[in-house]
């Protein structure tokens, strides 16, 4: 399932940083640098979450938040250079879901994004069951069935397969997979991804209908299903 995140911030560097880390998490990131364009883009996209700076040209973050809250409950994380408790209280009074003071650690922001998404709309993040022809993956039961037969997966194999299958038709680099499954602090060999993919393929077999775990030469991998 595609998760769309809109960041509205007049600092291009912050937008680039959020885009980089967000895409590593498998999100689709859109960025705007002014209040009016940001609000217009919001209505065009109706994203799953908004990362919103307070200090913006044309319309500030408070005004944008008020406009969104007139009709929508989209999760909003506010960004600001101010640390006063007044701003935090005002943000929560307007209906924001979280608040982060600049400068911030992008890893912390991604953790907050994940937590807010889970809290506000659990079905977006869970993808507990992936059902395809001849393939069922139940994350809750830690079970994979292919052609009606249960396949035993090691924990990391299960986590990797679940990540790819729940983001079907999206291509992920080895580094993106490492960041997502092994963590940003992992310092081992990127080839560990190839080893795990090989083991998963061996366990799933080759008689697949309607899906495939594909290698994208020179890039990485994707779990492909018919569109």
Rounded average pLDDT over 56-74 = 91
The rounded radius of gyration (Å) of the Cα atoms in the chain is 20
Write down the pLDDT at residue 85.
Answer: 57
208: its two tokens: 């697949």
Q: For residues 105 and 97, is the Cβ–Cβ distance under 8 A?
A: no
User: Of the CATH numbers 3.40.50.920, 3.90.1570.10, 3.20.20.80, 3.40.50.2300, which one belongs to the domain with range 4-124?
Assistant: 3.40.50.2300
Domain boundaries, the chain: 4-124, 127-224
pLDDT band at 132 (very low <50, low <70, confident <90, very high): confident
Inform me whether the pLDDT recorded for 29 exceeds 60. yes
> Averaged over 104-115, what is the pLDDT?
87
37: pLDDT confidence band, cut at 50, 70 and 90? very high
Mean pLDDT to the nearest integer, 149-166 = 88
| Total-model pTM | 0.58
Mean pLDDT (whole number) for 55-74: 91
pLDDT band at 89 (very low <50, low <70, confident <90, very high): low
Q: Tell me, what's the pLDDT at 180? A: 80
Q: What confidence category does residue 82 fall into, taking pLDDT thresholds of 50, 70 and 90?
A: low
pLDDT at 140 over 70: no
Give the pLDDT mean for 20-42: 91
The helix or strand, by DSSP H or E, that contains position 92, with its residue range, turns out to be helix 85-94
Q: What is the pLDDT of residue 184?
A: 65
Q: Check: CATH 1.10.1740.10 for 127-224?
A: no
**Alpha-carbon distance 162 to 126, whole Å?**
10
DSSP string covering 141-197, please? TTEEEETTEEE---HHHHHHHHHHHTTTT--EEHHHHIIIII-TT--S-THHHHHHH
Q: Is the pLDDT of residue 34 over 70?
A: yes
CA-closest candidate to residue 213, choices 154, 162, 148: 162
- Percentage of the residues of the chain whose pLDDT score is greater than 70: 88
Higher-confidence position of 113 and 190: 113
Query: What pLDDT score was predicted for residue 90?
Result: 67
- Quickly tell me which residue has 């998404």 as its tokens: 117
Q: 127-224: same fold as 4-124? A: no
Any idea which of 37-41, 165-169, 206-210 has the lowest mean pLDDT?
206-210
């Amino acid at each position: 399932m595609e998760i769309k995140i809109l960041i509205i911030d007049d600092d291009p560097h912050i937008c680039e940083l959020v885009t980089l880390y967000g895409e590593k998490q498998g999100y689709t990131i859109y960025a705007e640098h002014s209040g009016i364009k940001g609000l217009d883009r919001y209505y065009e996209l109706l994203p799953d979450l908004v990362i919103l700076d307070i200090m913006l040209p044309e319309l500030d973050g408070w005004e944008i938040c008020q406009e969104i809250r007139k009709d929508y409950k989209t999760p909003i994380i506010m960004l600001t250079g101010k640390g006063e408790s007044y701003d935090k209280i005002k943000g929560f009074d307007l209906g924001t879901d979280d608040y982060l003071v600049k400068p911030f650690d992008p890893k912390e922001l991604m953790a907050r994004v994940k937590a807010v998404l889970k809290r506000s709309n659990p079905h977006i993040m869970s993808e507990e069951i992936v059902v395809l022809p001849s393939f069922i993956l139940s994350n809750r039961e830690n079970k994979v069935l292919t052609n009606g037969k249960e396949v035993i997966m090691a924990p990391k194999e299960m986590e990797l397969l679940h990540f790819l299958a729940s983001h079907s038709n999206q291509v992920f680099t080895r580094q993106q997979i490492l960041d997502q499954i092994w963590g940003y602090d992992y310092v081992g060999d990127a080839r560990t991804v190839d080893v795990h993919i090989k083991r998963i393929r061996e366990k799933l077999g080759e008689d697949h209908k309607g899906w495939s775990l594909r290698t994208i030469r020179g890039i990485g991998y994707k779990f492909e299903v018919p569109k």
